[in-house]
Structure 1
């Protein structure tokens, strides 16, 4: 995989280094889980370094190097005031580098790498800074911290191992073992990367310098099974390694014995197992390990040919795997991390590559279920390649939620814990400012029964990004679903109290709280109190009046007529638009029509409605005569006001259609607009009542004479 190594030139521009990562040691038998191996390799190297070196200074423990440079404070403030502005950080880092101030550079790099840990080039700068300052132990620890943050960085592993070779006392036997351990951690974590050739060759060259030719052979045996960009070069170097040495010097005793047996078989010298072996005098028995057998030059050449033919088969199989992936690899133009957006072609290239690798692994898994153990090993390797590719992708595309989500969806059916770790990396490191990813994480934890973690995720998100209504409602929903209604109510009341300075948000939360109290707590009195208090703060909010009206309508009609009419009267006195007032008046009249106890009460409501209609009619005529300063607004009002003043003419000869009374929209319906997928874009959209027939010009004169 690759991360951005942002090297700064003299002009301050960021020059990107490229490298790509991968994970997991290639084994000929069983293949382990890639992300787990990556983490284990990084943690193993961290523990090894921690045991050998003192811990690097933590934040706040820097050794002061006099006063900080003049412009440091200014650039530091700019970077912290705009933490998502990458250039403000690079300006700060470049300034510290130009000033050659160790304390300032250490403070700036440490803070920057917490926010952007995938910039492997800055980890290298940090380690070099400590090395130049004579802090070798700190330099080692910085590299280890960097490798824990980005264990798939080939360049960073090479930098760390080079640092070990330059600083360790090679006269000590433990130094050699420590470097070998670092190499093993490196190839386990990043050795399967398509561009990991330098790391493998560095490892083989180092073992050759140690005169451990058998270890060199073992390294080539592993890399010959890895699809890498320079796979052909590895095979050619293995061929040269093979022809330059006697097989007995570069192979294990078991393999040498197998080669000699093959050689004897090819010569036709296979012995009959039924014939007893000729007894020899003491001291002249054939050694069991074949170490003292003298091979002729021809025998050596034959064994080399047999060995090369065996590796040739592995090479050809690997060549096929490389060919399958070559076009996909060529399409990836930026394998390292950068805050600059990727173009669509690059995003599509990653999606296509991932989809292909997943399908390839699934096919291998199906074959493994049929063909047995050998194919099963191949299917495990296929799954590992999928994980490796995801890890590579999530460096180049670390700021894109879609790839993190794709990774989680792949891992979740196989391992909940692995999927959880992906969510943790995404939300706590790379996408801390993307609330959607946090909400997905909380849903994931709740779905798998980890309510405590889901609650923690939502609480932390709200603290990091206060004011998001959807986060508070998710917290309320979580508590409600787990049966903690008192906690859910408390969260809503807290939201109502905290939003008093924002009337629209206060009204929104008040409506949510009132609905909660009415539907779940079955306490209409408390719900009414919440809405009335909200109306005092926002008397011009029609949504509050409408929800209060629905609450009253939803009650027992035999004893709730007074509440409905009071609600209507309150709305008519409020600073609402004429059209909205007309809707409330119509609703009050319909309620009286449907549930009025006496005809006189119905007529009283009817008379009030007639007065309102006349007032609107006068305003309309005034607009038609040009007396209004805003005729366009009045024209819209006339169009939206669908109930004209009743005609005083003679009733039509044809009897009108019987007036039907539709069921009123109950408070159980969502009065706050569309909430699909918690999208609250239409919180305060005006409720339309056209679907209930209130805009039809009912002729009330058919029922009551004009007053």
Structure 2
């Protein structure tokens, strides 16, 4: 690098090598930016290009890191001027839309640019951060702008009219400012002509003959009553949310996983906001949650599911794409399947197929993705289902549990198409070929219990139960469960007490409990998907959703522990004692590692 020492060149090369070898190494990225900025003020064109490359590469990897968007914009301003700095701000607020700090910096920047429509920028920011519980730094800045540049005090009043109904941390301060301002204005200005007319008509109906002075007094009383109603309502809504806000220990993202109470609090908070039914507030809370919970697939799935259920399909697609291509590890398969299903719903078939194919190129034995891909192709052409699933059944790379699972899916396919004899033959074959498959046995039993031929029903059911409880490849507890289920079936729906009297009690005593433990469904407990790596702190309750046509992940699959990917995000400077303040890492979070919470 020109104008730099040989030591800097060596360090530059070492750090570039480090981040290329391990893109998750945030510390090396941070040091690389520091070395790049040593050239500031003495840069050649080559140096400038290198600095840009560092920032662009870093912020592509860590787009939620709002501090570095600000640093990059400042650098662009120094080197290239206003237009280039503005481009960086635009990229930044697109990457982390709910960063109050970044929007405030952008608005400060815009106010110093001649001809810039600052009010329009404030309105864009209000849409993205105005409903945040700690949005008061933004609203303070917007009010300050209106007080200086507004045409009259009415512009401030109209802004306060919007603010005082938002449940937020400092709602009472805005209420007092609003109430005091209204008290200094003429009634027609404070109330507005339409409201004033309605109020006057109401008072005249109540009091008939009323003097002008008495009318003004009555209007003032009504205005004060309305103000108190606004305050009471906002206070009530704020208090409802404070229950959840008080439990949030980390509003930014960090490599350290959130603990279970934090994740559960986010889940409860989102459930509460969804039940309240305000779409804008729900979106705002999800976006805020997905800064600190950016690596947790369940929250992305919940967000996408909510958006889809309310027909915000384009926003759902954008959310899924952010999760798949930026924030989640490549072994998060549910979110990829969800995105593929949404693309399919939009008739974007080739893009959906590409997601399945690229995933299976990297993870060729991922059972859940394979199954969803088979059904995807079956929906495009029903003739493709059988040959495709048989291809995977005959695969030399899949394990026995996956193969038996696909064989059961083929049997179900025949069931649904009224080919019961074919289905029965497959069940008999799969339980003989893979006798250890609990999933196959349960599906076989379910099939016979639901078989429509009443004359043959008892014989087939007895055969299925006999085979299962006498199969030595199955664990004693599972065979005891099968026996318990058989006895229960005979008792409730059996045709002969003779069978009931001949059910052996021996196996049922081997199990410490009687009856099959219930998960989401009995058979889901035995779906033989390969174990999928998930963060050990992710609450299972968050995953209890259905995503379009995606096959649900089994409830009994235990998680393998893995280190979370080192994605970083912006920390909101809320100006409130327990909140993390504005910067990152040990240096950039604004507090030391000893003070990290969560």
TM-score (normalizing by structure 2): 0.58
1:679 to 529, 536, 559: 529
Deviation at 1:487, TM superposition (A): 11
Note if 1:156 corresponds to 2:53. no
Query: Aligned residue for 1:133?
Result: 79
Query: Aligned residue for 2:286?
Result: 390
Q: CA–CA distance in 2 between the matches of 1:436 and 1:429?
A: 14
Query: Aligned residue for 2:171?
Result: 231
Q: Counterpart of 2:309 in 1: which secondary structure? A: coil
Query: Aligned residue for 2:162?
Result: 222
Contact residue 438 and residue 458 of structure 1 kept, 8 A: no
Q: Which has the higher contact order (CA 8 A, sep 6+)?
A: 2
Deviation at 1:334, TM superposition (A): 0.6
Q: Deviations over 1:637-682 (max 9, x none)?
A: xxxxxxxxxxxxxxxxxxxxxxxxxxxxxxxxxxxxx996562469
Note if 1:144 corresponds to 2:90. yes
Query: Aligned residue for 1:79?
Result: 19
Q: CA–CA distance in 1 between the matches of 2:526 and 2:37?
A: 51
Deviation at 1:306, TM superposition (A): 4.5
Q: CA–CA distance in 2 between the matches of 1:238 and 1:387?
A: 27
Deviation at 1:234, TM superposition (A): 0.2
Q: Deviations over 1:70-119 (max 9, x none)?
A: 42232122112212333332332233334536433321121121122111
In structure 2, relative to structure 1, the CA distance for the partners of 1:96 and 1:222 (3 Å cut) is same
Q: Counterpart of 2:246 in 1: which secondary structure? A: helix
Deviation at 1:309, TM superposition (A): 3.2
Deviation at 1:347, TM superposition (A): 1.1
Q: CA–CA distance in 1 between the matches of 2:239 and 2:265?
A: 17
Gaps of at least 5 residues in structure 1 are 1-63, 272-294, 362-378, 520-545, 551-673, 683-707
Q: CA–CA distance in 1 between the matches of 2:393 and 2:35?
A: 44
Q: CA–CA distance in 2 between the matches of 1:121 and 1:432?
A: 24
Q: Counterpart of 1:71 in 2: which secondary structure? A: helix
Q: Deviations over 1:486-514 (max 9, x none)?
A: 89979999999xx9xxxx84999xx99x9
Contact residue 164 and residue 231 of structure 2 kept, 8 A: yes
Query: Aligned residue for 1:534?
Result: none
In structure 2, relative to structure 1, the CA distance for the partners of 1:494 and 1:102 (3 Å cut) is farther
Note if 1:334 corresponds to 2:334. no
Deviation at 1:324, TM superposition (A): 0.9
TM-score (normalizing by structure 1): 0.50
Q: CA–CA distance in 2 between the matches of 1:257 and 1:188?
A: 31
Q: Counterpart of 1:331 in 2: which secondary structure? A: coil
Query: Aligned residue for 1:557?
Result: none
Query: Aligned residue for 1:457?
Result: 355
Contact residue 93 and residue 103 of structure 2 kept, 8 A: yes
- When the two chains are superposed, the root-mean-square deviation of aligned CA atoms in Å is 4.5
Q: CA–CA distance in 2 between the matches of 1:305 and 1:198?
A: 32
Note if 1:415 corresponds to 2:311. yes
Contact residue 72 and residue 92 of structure 1 kept, 8 A: yes
2:334 to 437, 442, 449: 437
Deviation at 1:239, TM superposition (A): 2.7
1:90 to 10, 19, 30: 30
In structure 2, relative to structure 1, the CA distance for the partners of 1:236 and 1:428 (3 Å cut) is same
Contact residue 128 and residue 284 of structure 2 kept, 8 A: no
Contact residue 335 and residue 396 of structure 1 kept, 8 A: yes
Q: CA–CA distance in 1 between the matches of 2:204 and 2:384?
A: 84
Q: Deviations over 1:611-646 (max 9, x none)?
A: xxxxxxxxxxxxxxxxxxxxxxxxxxxxxxxxxxxx
Matches within 5 A, 1:182-261: 182-210=121-149, 211-247=151-187, 252-255=192-195
In structure 2, relative to structure 1, the CA distance for the partners of 1:346 and 1:681 (3 Å cut) is closer
1:405 to 301, 322, 336: 301
Q: CA–CA distance in 1 between the matches of 2:27 and 2:529?
A: 33
Matches within 5 A, 1:481-560: 482-483=380-381, 505=397
Contact residue 242 and residue 304 of structure 1 kept, 8 A: no
Contact residue 339 and residue 399 of structure 1 kept, 8 A: no
Note if 1:349 corresponds to 2:268. no
Q: CA–CA distance in 2 between the matches of 1:489 and 1:480?
A: 10
Q: CA–CA distance in 2 between the matches of 1:263 and 1:204?
A: 34
Contact residue 441 and residue 457 of structure 1 kept, 8 A: no
Instruction: Count residues with an aligned counterpart.
Output: 411
Deviation at 1:138, TM superposition (A): 1.1
Note if 1:111 corresponds to 2:57. yes
Pair member with larger Rg: 1
Contact residue 146 and residue 155 of structure 2 kept, 8 A: yes
Matches within 5 A, 1:504-653: 505=397
Deviation at 1:263, TM superposition (A): 8.4
Q: Counterpart of 1:79 in 2: which secondary structure? A: helix
